[in-house]
């Protein structure tokens, strides 16, 4: 069966040639223009010796160049290797060597790192998406063939290359487009998520272009800039991570009437758990509903969502998307998947069209991740009697205090409701008596009354069980964030230990 992710753009260019596909600052590209430029990139790559099945790495910011390179490489029959934009040269060189990429496309402020890494890896570096004689049509691809290799963050050891197939990505984009958002050509999506990440790449970029809608790119997210873009471009769908929602709520509060009169009809949250209090503040400020979902790089990424048809339940990540099944497995059993009953906490496991094809050249890691046909996520969750999934926490973030299991998210949900708390991350720190102690790292709201750690401890003690409330509170001006705005708890743990 032939199916290429390049057809996501190609088919929309055929259907909606004159409609605006992408807004990149002052540049506005129609679908016909974007597809023609991508085919010219594909032709140039072919002329440079890239052949079907080769791997082409891409190190670019959120820009039209990223789209040219991404769809151009796919149209040429190559596999795309998006590279994390915050890596240093040695890390980029590792990705190039491990993926056996034949070329690296980069430009702008990322070019010096790309050039150094390509030289070290012996790979040809191309400054900007190449432009040449266009291919007449995209190279057909097998549905089960690898379209994209995305490197995981590598919490232990070197990052692993997750192989996503053409079917994985096209199905995921289609599910987001139709079942979740009922997206159409009149929609405008704010593309502030990094395109090298699976969330921004599939849920924002591919889903938007699959629908024939308009993608508004933001190279760097701030709450104020996003608020301006929402109004200026009549954005109808916002996709972000919890820290972006917090920033927009704060920007709206400072901007007074700025959030009123916007055209948002839906907002999507993923990447990390969205505190219910932040969801409520956003919906009150922007008069729109937030649909929270769940997924990982290895699930393409969307696995579950609060969807319009089954219904929405804040505090949960909804039901499985179409064609996907979710289970809760005994987290203590690694060699097999032993499913638990509804209401029991265990490891979330996934199977269906979204599950990746395995880790590149790492059969041991693949075998550990895909067990009995299920992908083991490493996340702890619980499913209620109505089928709604709630993510409790990452297995690795679980705090064990004096023999009791403490789930940081439960503590964070309470603390975020304190009027002085803008953001909070709860971590475990070593403790001689109890093994681990509960520590809350807090960012105070700029307009809040002064608050002390003892006051926050006392406040949470009234609202949490005696074994759950934090005994340590530390204040910081900002939480360390990854490229998608996800809080890097391991960085907090390292500095707190």
Statement: residue 493 has pLDDT above 70: yes
Residue 365 inside a domain? The answer is no
| CA gap 87, 94 in Å, rounded | 10
What pLDDT is stored for residue 90 in this prediction? 87
111 φ, ψ (degrees, to nearest 5): -60, -45
Residue 15 inside a domain? The answer is yes
Domain finish residue from 133, 152, 168:
168
Statement: residue 425 has pLDDT above 80: yes
What pLDDT is stored for residue 48 in this prediction? 96
- For 383, the enclosing helix (H) or strand (E) is strand 374-383
Share of the chain above pLDDT 70, in %: 97
Domain finish residue from 168, 196, 231:
168
Number of domains in the chain: 2
Residue 74 inside a domain? The answer is yes
From residue 334, alpha-carbon distances to 62, 355, 367, 407 in Å are 39, 18, 11, 21
| CA gap 23, 74 in Å, rounded | 22
Mean pLDDT, all residues of the chain: 93
pLDDT 10s digits, 446-490:
989 999 999 999 999 999 888 889 999 999 999 998 877 788 888
* 247: Cα within 13 Å, side-chain hemisphere: 18
Which residue shows structure tokens 């223009």? 33
- Label residue 198 by pLDDT band (50, 70, 90): very high
Q: Which range among 157-166, 207-216, 233-242, 477-486 shows the weakest confidence by mean pLDDT?
A: 477-486
Domain finish residue from 145, 168, 191:
168
- Label residue 159 by pLDDT band (50, 70, 90): confident
Q: Which range among 81-95, 117-131, 258-272 shows the weakest confidence by mean pLDDT?
A: 258-272
Statement: residue 400 has pLDDT above 90: no
Statement: residue 259 has pLDDT above 50: yes
pLDDT 10s digits, 115-158:
999 999 999 999 999 999 999 999 999 999 999 999 986 544 67
* Separation of CA 15 from chain center: 29
Q: Which of 207, 198, 206, 205 is nearest to 180 (CA)?
A: 207
Q: Summarize the confidence of residues 64-87 as an average pLDDT.
A: 96
What pLDDT is stored for residue 155 in this prediction? 45
Q: Which of 203, 379, 222 is nearest to 292 (CA)?
A: 203
Residue 411 inside a domain? The answer is yes
What pLDDT is stored for residue 257 in this prediction? 61
Statement: residue 355 has pLDDT above 80: yes
Residue 41 inside a domain? The answer is yes
Residue 322 inside a domain? The answer is no
Q: Cβ–Cβ contacts within 10 Å for residue 336, how many?
A: 10
Q: Which of 248, 206, 211, 244 is nearest to 231 (CA)?
A: 248
- CATH classification of the domain holding 76: 3.40.50.980
- Label residue 182 by pLDDT band (50, 70, 90): very high
| CA gap 169, 174 in Å, rounded | 8
What pLDDT is stored for residue 353 in this prediction? 98
Which residue shows structure tokens 């192989």? 163
- Label residue 202 by pLDDT band (50, 70, 90): very high
- CATH classification of the domain holding 483: 3.30.300.30
What pLDDT is stored for residue 157 in this prediction? 61
| CA gap 400, 393 in Å, rounded | 13
Q: Summarize the confidence of residues 43-50 as an average pLDDT.
A: 97
Statement: residue 53 has pLDDT above 90: yes
What pLDDT is stored for residue 402 in this prediction? 77
SS3 70: helix
Residue 408 inside a domain? The answer is yes
**Contacts of residue 256, Cβ cutoff 8 Å, sequence gap at least 6:** none
Statement: residue 281 has pLDDT above 50: yes
From residue 145, alpha-carbon distances to 105, 204, 375 in Å are 22, 22, 19
Q: Cis before residue 295, ω within 30 degrees of 0?
A: no
Q: Which of 338, 230, 361 is nearest to 286 (CA)?
A: 230
pLDDT 10s digits, 362-397:
999 999 999 999 999 999 999 999 999 999 877 778
Statement: residue 234 has pLDDT above 50: yes
Range of the domain at 446: 398-496
Handedness of CA 83, 3, 203, 226 (dihedral sign): positive
Residue 76 inside a domain? The answer is yes
């Amino acid at each position: 069966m032939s199916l290429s992710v390049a057809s996501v753009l190609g088919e929309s260019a055929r259907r909606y040639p004159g409609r605006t596909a992408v807004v990149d600052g002052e540049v506005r590209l129609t679908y016909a223009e974007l597809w023609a430029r991508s085919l010219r990139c594909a032709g140039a790559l072919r002329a440079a010796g890239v052949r079907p099945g080769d791997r082409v790495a891409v190190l670019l910011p959120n820009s039209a160049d990223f789209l040219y390179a991404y769809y151009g490489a796919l149209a040429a029959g190559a596999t795309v290797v998006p590279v994390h934009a915050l890596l240093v040269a040695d890390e980029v060189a590792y990705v190039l060597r491990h993926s056996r990429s034949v070329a690296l496309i980069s430009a702008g402020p990322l070019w010096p790192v790309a050039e150094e890494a390509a030289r070290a890896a012996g790979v040809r570096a191309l400054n900007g998406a190449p432009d040449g004689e266009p291919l007449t049509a995209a190279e057909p691809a097998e549905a089960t063939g690898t379209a994209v290799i995305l490197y995981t963050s590598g919490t232990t050891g070197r990052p692993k290359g997750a192989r996503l197939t053409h079917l994985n990505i096209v199905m995921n984009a289609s599910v987001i487009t139709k079942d979740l958002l009922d997206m159409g050509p009149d929609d405008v999506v704010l593309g502030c998520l990094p395109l090298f990440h699976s969330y921004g790449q599939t849920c924002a970029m591919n889903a938007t272009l699959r629908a024939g809608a308009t993608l508004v790119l933001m190279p760097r997210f701030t709450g104020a800039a996003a608020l301006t873009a929402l109004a200026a471009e009549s954005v109808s769908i916002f996709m972000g991570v919890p820290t972006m929602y917090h920033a927009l709520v704060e920007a709206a509060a400072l901007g007074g009437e700025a959030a009123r009169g916007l055209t948002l009809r839906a907002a999507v949250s993923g990447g990390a758990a969205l505190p219910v209090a932040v969801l409520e503040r956003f919906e009150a400020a922007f008069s729109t509903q937030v649909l929270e979902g769940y997924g990982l790089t290895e699930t393409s990424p969307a696995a579950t969502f609060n969807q319009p048809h089954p219904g929405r339940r804040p505090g949960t990540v909804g039901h499985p998307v179409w064609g996907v099944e979710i289970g809760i497995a005994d987290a203590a059993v690694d060699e097999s998947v032993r499913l638990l009953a509804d209401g029991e906490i265990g490891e979330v496991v996934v199977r269906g069209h979204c599950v990746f094809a395995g880790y590149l050249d790492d059969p041991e890691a693949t075998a550990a991740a895909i067990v009995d046909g299920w992908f083991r996520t490493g996340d702890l969750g619980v499913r209620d009697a109505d089928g709604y999934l709630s993510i409790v926490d990452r297995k690795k973030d679980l705090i064990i205090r004096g023999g009791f299991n403490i789930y940081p998210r439960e503590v964070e949900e309470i603390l975020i409701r304190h009027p002085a708390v803008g953001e909070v991350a709860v971590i475990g720190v070593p403790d001689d008596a109890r093994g681990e102690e509960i520590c809350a790292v807090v960012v105070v709201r700029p307009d809040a009354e002064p608050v002390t750690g003892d006051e926050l401890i006392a406040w949470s003690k009234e609202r949490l069980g005696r074994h759950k409330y934090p005994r340590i509170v530390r204040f910081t001006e900002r939480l360390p964030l990854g490229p998608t705005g996800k809080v890097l708890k391991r960085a907090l743990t390292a500095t707190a230990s």
